[in-house]
Amino acid sequence: MAFFRKVRPAALLKKQPQDDKPTPAEHHRVPVRDAKPDFTVTSLWTDLLGRLGIRSAQLLVVGALATFLIIGMLRLTMIVIPTLLAVIISCALWPLVVKLRKFVSPMLAAWIVFLGSLLVLGGIGTGLVFSVIKEWPKLVDQAVEGFNQLNDMVQGFIGTMPFSVDQSQIDNVVETVTGFLTSSQFGTGALNTLSAAGSFVTGLVLLLVILFFFLKDGDKIWAFAVSWTPRHYRNKWILSGDRALRTFGGYIRGTATVAAVDALGITATLLIVQVPLAIPLGVIVFLGSFVPMVGATVAGILATLIALVTNGPVVALIVLAAVILVNQLEGNFLQPVVMANALSLHALVVLMALTAGTVLAGIVGAVLAVPLVAASWAVIKVWTGRDKSDAVAEASEDIKSEVEISEEQAALDKLEAKEQHQESLKDSE
């Protein structure tokens, strides 16, 4: 019996689970150095505030890099702008090069497309110059006559006002403008204009050179760039390049189609009502259409003003009606059909891109802003997986479903409250 009394407690202790946690009475005897702190350094970076701080720091670093990049590009506009223009134009002309390479060598295909483009643009420019030279005397005579008519109309309108403006004041304004045109300040401006013209010629030559090499070796240049990317990300880089190529090419071809329709409509109206410089104004409308939302409108207003000065208010109203009709046709029919795939951007984004581009680089920035933003968005969709599904449509469906569920839940809660109220009334009776 003594043996069992010695062994039994040990056997029972083996079967019973051991609890290493101290009892409430022993808890106060735990040494302070063994107690765990309420927070750790790791928790400072993993809680909500820590994650927000890390994300904010990342955004600041990315913003600083983007700022330095933009400042550097603005200081190298002589190289950056021709390069960007050459990239966009070569993307638009690349399908022609690919088709010609099936029959001729890459060098010959590049020369054919390059020289063909120069001949088309050169022919348009030559026709524009000769048209202006031919119709300039007629424009001057009609402009003087129209200005006199407008002057008489303004004088008649001012005569009905409570204050008067005599001819001497108008002559003083004309003399002031004439004095400025003959002053040294205007001469300095002319010299600056000549300097800008020299920079334009330099940039144009650089643009043509870069464009030719992109047409000749564009695929090799892109392959060289892709060869430096990590292999596990290479497919995304290739897809990004393909999306950018399609976006730039589709944007230029679609914009050229819309611009041609605008130019033909307004030019036909100007020819019918016999407004001088109808062909040059049509070319200006075509070029202005490459600035989305505002380019064609500004060019149409210019045509209306020339019609007002040269042909009178009736013809100007006819031209204005034609400009409004063409703009409505462009915005409601041509843009959705032609530019649907190339420019999948909201009108607000286009307006903000135009504003930013104009502030940073003037007219050239306004022309380049929209295609660059469209291509950037196409690349972002590749890297975020949005190119495989319509995330916006899915989010809209989720919002609609959540609203319907909340409305149903509110109706059920209201019905339940009504039933409880009726039950309480019955109990009270």
**How far is 345 from 254, CA to CA, in rounded Å?**
14
- Residues spanned by the domain of 346: 76-160+201-211+232-387
Is the pLDDT confidence value at 13 over 50? no
Number of other residues whose CB lies within 10 A of the CB of residue 345: 17
Stretch 409-422: mean pLDDT: 84
Q: Is residue 363 part of a domain?
A: yes
Residue reference for tokens 């959705």: 336
**How far is 286 from 352, CA to CA, in rounded Å?**
23
Q: The tokens of 429 are what?
A: 């009776």
CB neighbour class for 386 (10 Å; exposed up to 12, middle 13-18, buried from 19): middle
Q: Is residue 225 part of a domain?
A: no
Q: Is residue 222 part of a domain?
A: no
Is the pLDDT confidence value at 64 over 60? yes
Q: Cα dist. 333→174, 206, 249, 265, 293 in Å?
A: 46, 37, 21, 15, 14
Size (the chain), residues:
429
Closest CA to 263 of 224, 219, 299, 221: 299
For the stretch 342-363, pLDDT in tens is 667 777 888 888 888 888 777 7
pLDDT of residue 140: 65
Rg (alpha carbons) of the chain, rounded to whole number: 37
Alpha-carbon torsion, ordered 167, 171, 177, 181, to 10 deg: 150
To the question of pTM greater than 0.85 for the whole model, the response is: no
Helices 347-384 and 234-272 meet at what angle, rounded to 10? 160
**How far is 217 from 214, CA to CA, in rounded Å?**
5
DSSP secondary structure string for all residues of 322-374: HHHHHHHHIIIIIHHHHSTTT----HHHHHHHHHHHHHHHHHHHHHHHHHHHH
CB 265 within 8 A of CB 326: yes
Q: Is residue 60 part of a domain?
A: no
For the stretch 161-207, pLDDT in tens is 555 555 565 566 656 655 554 555 544 554 455 566 777 788 888 99
DSSP letter at 32 equals G
Q: Is residue 82 part of a domain?
A: yes
CB 81 within 8 A of CB 368: yes
Number of domains in the chain: 1
> How far from the centroid of its chain's Cα atoms is residue 271's Cα?
35
pLDDT of residue 9: 47
Q: Is residue 378 part of a domain?
A: yes
pLDDT of residue 314: 85
Q: Is residue 27 part of a domain?
A: no
- CB-based contacts of 343, cutoff 8 Å, min separation 6: 250, 251, 254, 350, 370, 374
Q: Is residue 422 part of a domain?
A: no
Closest CA to 353 of 361, 54, 196, 141: 361
Amino acid at site 89: I
pLDDT of residue 14: 46
**How far is 342 from 358, CA to CA, in rounded Å?**
22
Residue reference for tokens 């689970």: 17
- CB-based contacts of 215, cutoff 8 Å, min separation 6: 90, 93, 94, 97, 109, 110, 113, 114
Is the pLDDT confidence value at 214 over 90? yes
**How far is 32 from 353, CA to CA, in rounded Å?**
62
Stretch 110-128: mean pLDDT: 83
For the stretch 235-292, pLDDT in tens is 889 998 898 888 888 888 888 888 888 888 888 988 898 887 788 888 888 888 887 7
pLDDT of residue 346: 76
